[in-house]
Amino acid sequence: MKHLLLVGGGHSHLAVLKSFGDTPAPGARLALLSPSGHAFYSGMVPGVVAGHYRPGDCRIDLAALAARAGARFLLDSAAGVDLAKREVTTARGERLHYDVLSLDIGSSAGDPSGAAERALRVRPVESFLAGWQRLRESARRGEIRRIAVVGGGAAGIEVLLAMRHGLAGVAAEFVLFSELPILAGHGARRRIARILGERGVTVHSGRKVVAAGKNGLGLDGGERFEAQAAVWAAGAYAPPWIAQSALATDARGFVAVSETLQSRSCPEIFAAGDVATVIGEPRPKSGVFAVRQGPVLARNLRRALAGEAPEPFRSPSRSLALISCGDRYAVASWGRFSLEGAWVWRWKDRIDRRFVERYRLGPGEG
């Protein structure tokens, strides 16, 4: 009996669990290690903040998917891996053996130096949504006059515009800080910049935030920026235990994998989603790639359990990006081309709902 250990409940592992639930692998024993019994589809989280969805609309029952796949579910998180013994150590000290290991634990938001210590971080999603509820209540009581969002990528922009919509009627100023130009290299950059301006958002590009305190932000050069609330959506950082494990990593500490999603140093270990970097094909840390990697990862885990050669993941040279703008309006981009409108939001809504429904279990399942 071979042991397949799945660490994390990211978008790629949803596809793995569904695959093994649909067609069990003979001679394999599965286990899923996750700090939560639920997974949130990141594409719909700004819609929850804006008030278009309830949290349950984008929440997927991980424990039920694991049960359907015949996997043992462990409510805990990984703290280390012993490559020689093929064991993962959990935060509670349990040691879990594996023959094949798959990592899909995402990334964390917020600089490990502590710059985001007092900010509301957009990940993990459960704590972010709880923090958003508190922030919204404070703003409605008139305790928050200015909200600063750190991060000029799609995540920061979507969250800022969603909060602005969710606080319609509240006299609060929204400010966006971005170390690089917003949506650097993105086809929708000009459209989004125009929309931010039309909605009264002040954008500070080329400014690095080095601290988030009780009364605002600390900027490089020693300048202080007053804000009663700060939200951190900048950067993606790998869990420290990855680099401490002696697994091959990229320069930022993410698991270095080949095009087959196998570790470059340990072929029995696979990784997908934000925690992985496909060497030679660097891509932004984005949920769209985790979704695309899922089916290939599922097939390759089966092949690894059977002693067969894995297949490569063919990363597209460009991908569709759909950026929501708070209200039921969105911008679409494909390479250099972009479009916008209410119809784009409806298109995005259909895609997002279809993804979540794919992993909902019917009566009698799970």
Residue 32, pLDDT above cutoff 80 = yes
pLDDT of res. 352: 97
Mean pLDDT of 43-57: 97
Give the integer Cα–Cα distance in Å for 28 and 30. Answer: 6
Residue 281 banded pLDDT, cuts 50, 70, 90? confident
Q: How far apart are CA 344 and CA 173, in angstroms?
A: 27
Q: Class of 120-235 per CATH?
A: alpha beta
Q: Which has more pLDDT, 273 or 183?
A: 273
Range 56-68 average pLDDT: 97
Which CATH architecture best describes the domain 2-35+76-107+236-316?
Answer: 3-Layer(bba) Sandwich (3.50)
Tokens of 83: 């490559």
Output the six-digit token pair for 79.
């703290």
Whether 363 has a pLDDT exceeding 70, the answer reads: no
Where is 315: in which H helix or E strand? none
Q: How many residues does the chain have?
A: 366
User: Considering Cα of 314, then 320, then 321, then 322, what sign does the dihedral take?
Assistant: negative
> What integer pLDDT is reported at residue 364 of this predicted model?
57
Q: Which two tokens stand for residue 20?
A: 């093994």
Does the pLDDT of residue 27 top 60, yes or no?
Answer: yes
What was the pLDDT predicted at 113? 65
SS3 334: strand
d(CA 180, CA 289): 22
pTM over 0.85? The answer is: yes
The secondary structure of 17-72 as a DSSP string is HHHHHHSPPTTEEEEEEESSSEEE-GGGHHHHHHTSS-GGGGEEEHHHHHHHTTPE
- Which residues, other chains included, contact 197 with Cβ-Cβ below 8 Å and sequence gap of 6+? 203
More confident residue, 218 or 110: 218
pLDDT at 175: 98
**How far is Cα 6 from Cα 16, in angstroms, rounded to an integer?**
9
Helix or strand (DSSP H, E) at 84: none
Residues of the chain with pLDDT > 70, as a percent, come to 97
Quick count: other Cβ atoms within 10 Å of Cβ 360?
A: 11
- pLDDT value at 241 more than 70: yes
User: Using omega within 30 degrees of 0 as the cis cutoff, is the peptide bond preceding 46 cis?
Assistant: no
Helix then strand then coil, % of the chain, to nearest 5: 30, 30, 40
pLDDT, tens digit (0-9, with 9 covering 90-100), for 175-188: 999 998 888 767 78
Higher pLDDT, 221 or 40: 40
CA distance 293 to 312: 10
**pLDDT at position 283, please?**
75
Write out pLDDT tens, residues 304-323.
999 999 999 987 777 889 99
Give yes or no for a contact between 268 and 304, defined as CB atoms under 8 angstroms apart. Answer: yes
* Parts of the chain belonging to CATH 3.50.50.60: 2-35+76-107+236-316, 120-235
Answer whether residue 217 shows pLDDT above 90. yes
Alpha-carbon distance 179 to 316, whole Å?
27
For residue 49, the model assigns a pLDDT of 98
Rounded CA separation 354/330 (Å): 18
* For range 216-241, the mean pLDDT: 92
